[in-house]
């Protein structure tokens, strides 16, 4: 009934001490997958077609668009959005193109070497379509949160994938997330799922979930986890 990857991901969750509710939501997502995969393909293809006129070297985001649209549309008519880790602007482009936003903030270090500079130039070119509808901060997430005064309705965490930094990012993000807001964590199943490395996002995401009482798990899919801050 389930693929080999399903069982490996179950093993991964066991190794990373995932709460029972994480298992449950992942299992429900896989149960529903045969009935939703055609919609997922439509969403993915639609966004990929949009990206054809953009400057992108990679596209790890289009596969997530079905979930983002389903969850964001259900919870918000207009919202403020923050992302930690922007790269070439793929996720921010999806938000700006498809939703009514109050403000959109993009944070990334875009390190000073030739490869990253190319990605920063791509980001600026891609986002030029939405001039004056977003702001970007070329700095670490730690520095951003120290200076930030705004709160957000949707926050996407896709920056550093080291366990300690992920823990800092999700805790800082939670403090600036409005009640009823959605926190999206990328790469829950990050790294080699056949090993027992603890320096991965899942380890501290699971820890964070266990520590919070005002949290509701909305969805766990093959790569991301969606958490809602209860009012």
Q: What is the structure's pLDDT at 114?
A: 58
Question: What is the tens place of the pLDDT at every residue in 25-70?
Answer: 999 999 999 999 999 999 999 999 999 999 999 999 999 999 999 9
CA 25 to chain CA centroid, Å, is 17
Q: What is the structure's pLDDT at 154?
A: 98
d(CA 227, CA 155): 10
Every domain of the chain and the residues it spans: 4-229
**Residue-wise DSSP of 99-111:** SEEEEEEEEE---
Q: What is the structure's pLDDT at 199?
A: 84
State the chain's mean pLDDT as an integer.
93
Q: Are 64 and 223 in contact (CB under 8 A)?
A: yes
% of the chain residues with pLDDT over 90: 85
Query: 146 in helix, strand or coil?
Result: helix
Query: 83 in helix, strand or coil?
Result: strand
Question: What is the tens place of the pLDDT at every residue in 169-224?
Answer: 999 999 999 999 999 999 999 876 545 567 899 999 999 999 999 999 999 999 99
Residue 140 has pLDDT above 80, yes or no: yes
2.60.120.620, 1.10.1380.10, 3.30.2270.10, 3.40.50.150: CATH of 4-229: 3.40.50.150
Q: Are 193 and 13 in contact (CB under 8 A)?
A: no
Q: What is the structure's pLDDT at 176?
A: 98
Strands of the chain (E only): list them.
78-84, 100-108, 135-138, 152-157, 177-185, 215-220, 225-229
Q: Name the pairing type of β-strands 152-157 and 135-138.
A: unpaired
Residue 72 has pLDDT above 70, yes or no: yes
Q: Can you say whether residue 167 is alpha, beta or left, with left for phi > 0 and alpha for psi between -120 and 50 degrees?
A: alpha
Q: What is the structure's pLDDT at 163?
A: 92
d(CA 217, CA 206): 11
**pTM for this one?**
0.95
CA 13 to chain CA centroid, Å, is 18
């Amino acid at each position: 009934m389930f693929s080999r990857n399903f069982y490996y991901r179950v093993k991964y969750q066991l190794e990373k001490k995932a709460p029972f509710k994480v298992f449950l939501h992942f299992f429900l997502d896989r149960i529903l997958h045969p009935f939703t995969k055609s919609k997922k393909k439509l969403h993915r293809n639609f966004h990929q077609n949009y990206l054809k006129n953009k400057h992108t070297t990679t596209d790890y985001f289009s596969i997530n668009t079905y979930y983002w649209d389903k969850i964001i549309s259900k919870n918000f008519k207009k919202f403020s959005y923050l992302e930690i880790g922007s790269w070439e602007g793929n996720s921010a482009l999806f938000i700006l193109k498809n939703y009514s936003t109050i403000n959109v903030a993009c944070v990334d270090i875009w390190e000073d070497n030739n490869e990253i500079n190319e990605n920063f130039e791509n980001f600026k070119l891609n986002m030029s379509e939405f001039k004056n509808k977003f702001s970007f901060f070329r700095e670490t997430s730690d520095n951003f949160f120290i200076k930030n005064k705004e709160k957000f309705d949707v926050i996407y965490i896709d920056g550093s994938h080291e366990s300690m930094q992920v823990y800092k990012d999700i805790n800082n993000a939670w403090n600036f997330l409005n009640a009823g807001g959605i926190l999206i964590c990328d790469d829950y199943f990050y790294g080699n799922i056949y090993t027992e490395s603890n320096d991965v996002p899942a380890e501290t995401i699971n820890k964070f979930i266990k520590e919070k009482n005002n949290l509701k798990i909305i969805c766990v899919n093959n790569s991301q986890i969606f958490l809602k801050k209860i009012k």
